[in-house]
Amino acid sequence: MLALALLAALSTQEVRETITVERVLVDVRVTRDDGELFEDLTPADFDVRIAGKHADVEAAEFVRDVAGESPSLPVSEDSDARRPGRTIVLFIQTDFARHPTRTHGQLNFLRYTDEMIEAFAPEDRFAVFSFDSHLKFRLDLTSDKKQVIDAITDSISIDHPPPPPIVAEPSLAKHLDREAMRRAAHSETALLLVAHALKFVPGPKSLLLLGWGLGERTAFGVRMKHDWKAARYALDASRVSIFALDTSYADYHDLEIGLATAAAETGGFYAKTHLFPGIAVERLHRTLGGHYELTLRASQSLKPDTHPLDVRVKRRGARVLAPASVVIR
């Protein structure tokens, strides 16, 4: 009789299932080929897939990253005053072997760095790293453009720079291990260390990689080095996009494939600078003028993990800059 009573109770019991819907935030830039931004997109304009499965775009908020007026999204003076500056990290490769193509290209681009830095907003903050035989920390986050330009110029030297001046929070210095920096034998390892330090700085960040290449030559072509996978995940977690400005003085070189790969996989772009550096710099500034924060609702069938991300926009001439993966927790 007891068993019959239990069966009757179970048959009338309401069964409830709790479904947890994962929402993720992704930073996306949508531009034309020259870097001009699309600023009037709505959630319906985006087609997003995570691991091949459709993800609902619940919100697509355009965030203007610099002060200014927009016909579609006017910005008041009050909001301009409250807008925090952008976080810009310069990662400069200096060839330890002093290969003429790389050294000449770096010296050539240095003539444009003053113009590039001065065009940023006064409230933007910069940190400067260089890499030759290992990672070197030249300047902590600051809005002092003269210090930034001086640190970029000094990067051509293969020297041992002293620790940069102490700055107020946010600061990268306390999150960098100088011994680990000394042991970083490859740019990919160095990028991993920089990404971990940037995790403690709020908001999206842009890393300007001024250099000659990533990856390594193999019998099967250029492949990214082993540490790139971990570096890419760390960059994604820290909301960092790489904008690779190739300073090699060459129409083509094989390690540019690595630079282009790093930029594409983190939501940035790759551009050559040896012939028309001004065009690359202008495109950079236009692209960094704003971004979309997409709120996505992922498929409930996805397990917690890092999954491929594919973002497309239903507008003619639109170029989408988005990370190649997203973390479902």
Which pLDDT tens digit goes with each residue over 105-138? 999 999 999 999 999 999 999 999 999 999 999 9
Residue 170: is the preceding peptide bond cis (ω within 30°)? yes
Inter-residue contact 214 to 258 (CB < 8 Å): yes
Placement of tokens 């960094």 in the chain: 288
What span, in angstroms and rounded, lies between the C-alpha atoms of 299 and 55?
6
Query: Other CB atoms closer than 10 Å to residue 252's CB: what's the count?
Result: 8
Distance of CA 7 to CAs 1, 14, 15, 16, 17, Å? 10, 13, 14, 18, 20
What span, in angstroms and rounded, lies between the C-alpha atoms of 326 and 329?
10
* Six token digits for residue 225: 């080095």
Which pLDDT tens digit goes with each residue over 60-97? 999 999 864 433 334 444 444 446 799 999 999 999 99
Q: Choose among 241, 239, 252, 184: nearest CA to 213.
A: 252
What span, in angstroms and rounded, lies between the C-alpha atoms of 233 and 325?
8
- Taking the model in full, what pTM does it have? 0.88
The pLDDT, as a whole number, for residue 285 is: 97
Query: Other CB atoms closer than 10 Å to residue 289's CB: what's the count?
Result: 20
Rounded to 5°, angle at Cα 296 from 290 and 298: 150
Please state whether beta strands 270-272 and 240-246 pair in parallel, antiparallel, or not at all (unpaired): parallel
What span, in angstroms and rounded, lies between the C-alpha atoms of 147 and 9?
75
What span, in angstroms and rounded, lies between the C-alpha atoms of 239 and 228?
16
Inter-residue contact 63 to 291 (CB < 8 Å): yes
Which among 20-34, 56-70, 141-155 has the top mean pLDDT? Answer: 141-155
Q: What percent of the chain has pLDDT over 90?
A: 82
The pLDDT, as a whole number, for residue 329 is: 80
Mean of per-residue pLDDT scores for the chain: 89
On the question of pLDDT at 166 being above 90, the answer is yes
